[in-house]
Amino acid sequence: MDTNRGQTVFLWLFVGLLAASTLLLAGLQYRWINEVSASEQDRRQRRLQADIDRLARDFDDDISNIFTAIATNNRDWSELDDATIEAGYLQQFEAWRESAKHEQLVRRLVRVIPKGDSFVLREANPLRKEFQTVDWPPGWERFRERMNARLRGDGSRPGPMDGGTINVIEIPRWRSRERIEGNGIREWLAVELDLPLIQKEWIPELLKHHLGSTGPLEYDAEITMSEEPERIVFASNSTGETIGTAADATCQLFRLKFPRGRFGPGGGRGNSEQGRWQLAVRHKQGSLEVAVSRARTRNLALTTAILALMLVTIGALVWLTRRAQQLAYLQMEFVAGVSHELRTPLTVIGTAAFNMGSGIVKFNNQPQLERYGTLIQDQTKKLGAIVEQVLRFAGARPDQAHWKREVVMVDQLVDDALAASAQAIAESGCTVNWNIPTDPIAVIGDATGLQHVLQNLISNAAKYGASGGQIEIAALLTSGNVEITVKDYGMGISKSEAGKIFEPFFRGKKAVADQIHGTGLGLSLAKRIVEGNGGKIFVKSQEGKGSEFIVRLPAAPKESMSEFTDPVN
């Protein structure tokens, strides 16, 4: 026992050390995950900004390429008439459309030519291959106001993207340096972009290419006017919630830059330093910080679950080890107990045989021979009962297929069990009160096995009940079941041992201390038999006040009971 106790102490010290190490590892893991999450958030922030910067560059380059393709002309404009200029525009416009990915991106190509205190608008007609004089198109009102302000000299310096209409871009075309008059601008080349195409095709394609990779988009995107942030040009969030200042990253679109002199002398002076549109993106989970935080939470939950699983596994191993140790100890106790139980009848039988063989017992002394014969017979029965119980335990299985299914009358079952327990009852001096039910009650099960169960319970009541006390047996039919109770008023069972009495080889401390004979297999075997017959067995007990064992079995249908208790299929 001291060795076992020392092993237990060492085992729990080892478990404590493992638990402390696991908690330390959990703390370090929590710290490392937080550091990794902060680094991950910074990395994803920088990557996201770089991605949308590339998106803006691709967008602006494609817009700039429209003017690069259409408006490039290195000849001195002073030598060209309007017809030649317009023919060049049309030719270059057609060449751009043939190579462009979105050939319908340009809805209108218009020459805005200053004339006195107003403008003449000449719009390209690719189908008729000519320019036509037109009025100001619908939706160009703000662009017209800005151009009139420039003409009056009270607007911003000339150049592309000075605000105005949401999808109209213009660049100045300069006169020859030798013939500069006024501000030196000969005309503006204005392009109206197809806004629905930008919103439904082009922007989603750019977002998919730069932010979507191979999977679905993780981000919502929103494009607003830089000078009017409340004016939304594009939004990918189907919920209607605006991003506003809660963006994870932002950049400007329509920041067009042209090399100096590309569109005539002085052509670089009108470069746009500020984009007309602003792109804002935010993670679909609310923000990049929230997304990283959720990933951190998932990682923490996963690692916590793994560590918890490790602790549970260690705990289970410890518990199983302790159970194995306890089972081994109980088995040793069982072997010692059975050896003792076997030794007593064997000693009596051996002594009687020796006396008879050595002549101590005279064969002509009939009373003495009969007394010795009865003694040997009683001890042989005890020996056989022990062997039978061990064999029953080894062969008993809880599955119902192992047991016979027949109608068994409860009163006959109890009578047979009482007859088999008569010697134990007589030795204890107990009185049995068997409350026979008025109406016949029957159960469905294996008669031999169930008789052994009741015999064991009655014998235990006689063995552990108060000497000369009472044993009460009763049967009751309740809602499809029959409950058979065996009650004594003896030593009872402590709360700490009540949950173990149906385990193999277990014997209570008081029973061992009082040297009450037993193998520790009876109740375990009874439980296997009852459950194998579709029933349940449980105990109600209070230490010092006795115990009540209840066997609940399925009741037999009334029509199946007869004088001969016919078997039921």
Contact 112, 71 (CB under 8 A): no
Q: How buried is residue 426: exposed, middle or buried, by Cβ count under 10 Å (0-12/13-18/19+)?
A: exposed
pLDDT at 157: 45
CA pair distance 288, 362, nearest whole angstrom: 106
Beta bridge partners of 160: none
Opening angle at CA 190, ends 187 and 191, nearest 5: 160
Contact 97, 109 (CB under 8 A): no
Beta bridge partners of 281: 221, 249
> Measuring CA to CA, which residue among 142, 88, 144 is closest to residue 112?
144
CA pair distance 560, 8, nearest whole angstrom: 56
List phi, psi (to 5°) of 534: 75, 20
What are the chain's domains? Answer: 38-284 (3.30.450), 396-560 (3.30.565.10)
Output DSSP code: residue 555. Answer: B
Contact 519, 389 (CB under 8 A): yes
CA pair distance 67, 160, nearest whole angstrom: 11
Residues 6 or more apart from 29 whose CB is under 8 A from it? 300, 303, 307
pLDDT at 201: 92
CA pair distance 56, 254, nearest whole angstrom: 8
CA pair distance 349, 79, nearest whole angstrom: 142
List phi, psi (to 5°) of 14: -65, -40
Contact 180, 269 (CB under 8 A): no
CA pair distance 520, 396, nearest whole angstrom: 15
Q: If you count DSSP H runs as helices and E runs as strands, how many of each does the chain have, helices first?
A: 13, 16
CA pair distance 298, 43, nearest whole angstrom: 19
Q: What is the chain's pLDDT, residue by residue, as a tens digit (569 residues)?
A: 455 566 667 666 776 777 777 777 777 777 776 676 677 778 888 888 999 999 999 999 888 888 888 876 555 555 678 888 888 889 999 999 888 888 899 999 999 999 888 899 999 998 899 999 999 998 888 888 888 888 887 654 444 444 456 788 888 877 654 444 445 677 888 999 999 999 999 999 999 888 876 667 888 899 998 888 888 889 887 667 788 778 888 999 888 766 554 454 444 434 445 788 999 988 887 766 666 677 767 777 777 777 777 777 777 777 777 777 766 765 665 565 555 556 666 776 777 777 777 767 666 777 777 777 777 776 676 666 666 655 555 555 555 445 678 888 888 888 888 888 888 888 888 888 888 777 888 898 888 888 888 888 888 888 877 677 888 899 888 888 898 999 888 888 887 777 777 776 666 666 655 555 556 667 877 888 888 888 999 888 888 888 889 999 998 887 766 554 444 44
Contact 417, 451 (CB under 8 A): yes
User: In Å, how far from its chain's centre is CA 445?
Assistant: 44
The type of residue at 159 is G
Output DSSP code: residue 272. Answer: -
Contact 446, 533 (CB under 8 A): yes
CA pair distance 494, 59, nearest whole angstrom: 84
pLDDT at 239: 67
CA pair distance 205, 186, nearest whole angstrom: 37
First vs last Cα of the chain: how many Å apart? 53
CA pair distance 210, 499, nearest whole angstrom: 66
> Measuring CA to CA, which residue among 443, 540, 446, 554 is closest to residue 488?
540
Its pTM stands at 0.50
CA pair distance 541, 548, nearest whole angstrom: 6
Contact 111, 187 (CB under 8 A): yes
